[in-house]
Amino acid sequence: MNELKQILPKIALGTWPISGAREWGIFEENEAKKVLSSLLENNITCIDTAAIYGLGRGETLLGKFFKNTPRSKFILTSKCGLIPNPRAVKFDLSAKSLQKQIEDSLRRLNTDYLDIYFLHWPDKKTPLEETLFQMEKFRQEGKIRFVGLSNFSEDLIRQAAKITQIDCLQNEFSFLNQSNKNLFPLIKKFDFAFMAYGVLNGGILSGKYRQAPNLAKTDVRSFFYHSYKGENFLKAQKNIALLKEICPASPAQAAINFVLSFEEVSCAIFGAKNTKQLIENAGALTWKITERQREFLCSKQ
């Protein structure tokens, strides 16, 4: 069995929303610090970040956190390939670039290793062999424990698995967006761990929004997630009502549990901009969706 699947917790904090990235609106660093300091008491021992989050500020925030908190208590993941640049995102998975990227990430994170290092998005200009040989080198050097692919297609995943050992996939999967179910047979075949991101679809499945918010064009919820406008917003409200039938007090917990009810999903990643959200989302581990409840939800899609 995949070693990673034996140690990966069921839930993880995704740090994009608390990285200071302009894509998530107002950033309050004190609140972000409170969220991080509340992780262990809420049984959250996995943190997911990326170099691009907040143009490096997300990793820097975690680095400050690890000055006073034992790094060994957490499964820590980061991602490479998107170069922090205030003007435009640059894709670069070349071996030379990866060497600098991991050194920068480890320095910002105040650690000497990553549990999982993900290729954030494919880089069409760099041969996959060059990239994965470098990732394997990092593994041999002890800089990383496991190699992951994020946002890779089925074809690219199959190609990568022929080159080196791939331990984990990270793709979007939620009650509102189940398109990556097509990866499930592959996950079973290769015994990959699978970390699902976007399980709350950018926060809308929390049930927080009664009316479509007026979001800035730079806000990730207006371009990365697609449920905050027009017909998609109305559809989301109907789906939230279904989740409330399963868990009236917290559609967010129902949404997280829906994702975890699939045996192919190893870990559900969610964001939290304050401790109230963190505590509520972490409460998903206190109960489980039954097979009958999942069938009910799936039948309504």
83, 53 contact by CB (below 8 A):
no
Contacts of residue 257, Cβ cutoff 8 Å, sequence gap at least 6: 246, 247, 284, 287, 288, 289
Radius of gyration of the chain (CA): 18
Say if CB 10 and CB 268 are below 8 A apart.
yes
pLDDT band at 24 (very low <50, low <70, confident <90, very high): confident
Residues near 241 by beta carbon (within 8 Å), at least 6 away in sequence: none
Q: Which residues on adjacent β-strands are paired with residue 268? A: 11, 196
The arithmetic mean of pLDDT across residues 126-136, rounded, is: 98
- Choices 3.40.50.720, 3.40.190.10, 3.20.20.100, 3.40.630.10: CATH for 3-299: 3.20.20.100
The whole-number pLDDT of residue 23 equals 79
Q: What is the mean pLDDT of residues 295-299?
A: 92
Rounded Cα distance between 86 and 96, Å, is 21
In this structure, which amino acid lies at residue 225? Y
Give residues with Cβ within 8 angstroms of 191, minimum separation 6. 1, 2, 5
| pTM of structure | 0.96
SS3 243: helix
Q: Identify the sign of the CA torsion 41, 70, 56, 117.
A: negative
Written as one letter, the residue type at 42 is: N
Residue 274, pLDDT above cutoff 90? yes
Mean pLDDT of 264-285: 97
Judge contact between 143 and 99, C-beta under 8 A.
Answer: no
In this prediction, residue 258 has a pLDDT band, given cuts at 50, 70 and 90, of: very high
Residue 102: how many CB atoms within 10 A of its CB? 22
| 301: pLDDT strictly greater than 80 | no
Distance of CA 102 to the CA centre of its chain: 19
Within a 13 Å sphere around the CA of 261, how many CA atoms are in the beta-carbon half? Answer: 21
Strands (E) across 61-219 are located at 75-80, 82-83, 90-91, 114-119, 144-150, 168-172, 193-197
pLDDT of residue 244: 96
What are 197's strand-pairing partners?
172
Which pLDDT value is given to residue 150?
98
Contact residues for 154 (Cβ-Cβ < 8 A; gap 6+): 182, 183, 186
Do residues 276 and 282 lie in contact, with contact meaning Cβ atoms separated by under 8 Å?
no
pLDDT for position 43: 97
pLDDT of 104 over the 80 cut: yes
Q: Is the pLDDT of residue 216 over 90?
A: no
pLDDT in tens, 36-88: 999 999 999 999 999 999 999 999 999 999 999 999 999 999 999 998 777 77
Instruction: Tell me the per-residue pLDDT of 157-214, one tens digit each, with 9 for 90 and over.
Output: 999 999 999 999 999 999 999 999 999 999 999 999 999 999 999 999 999 888 888 8
d(CA 276, CA 33): 13
As a 3-state breakdown, the chain gives helix, strand, coil percent values, each rounded to 5, of 50, 15, 35
Name the more confident of 212 and 140: 140
Q: Given pLDDT bands bounded at 50, 70 and 90, which one contains residue 1?
A: confident
* Distance separating alpha carbons of residues 145 and 51, to the nearest angstrom: 18
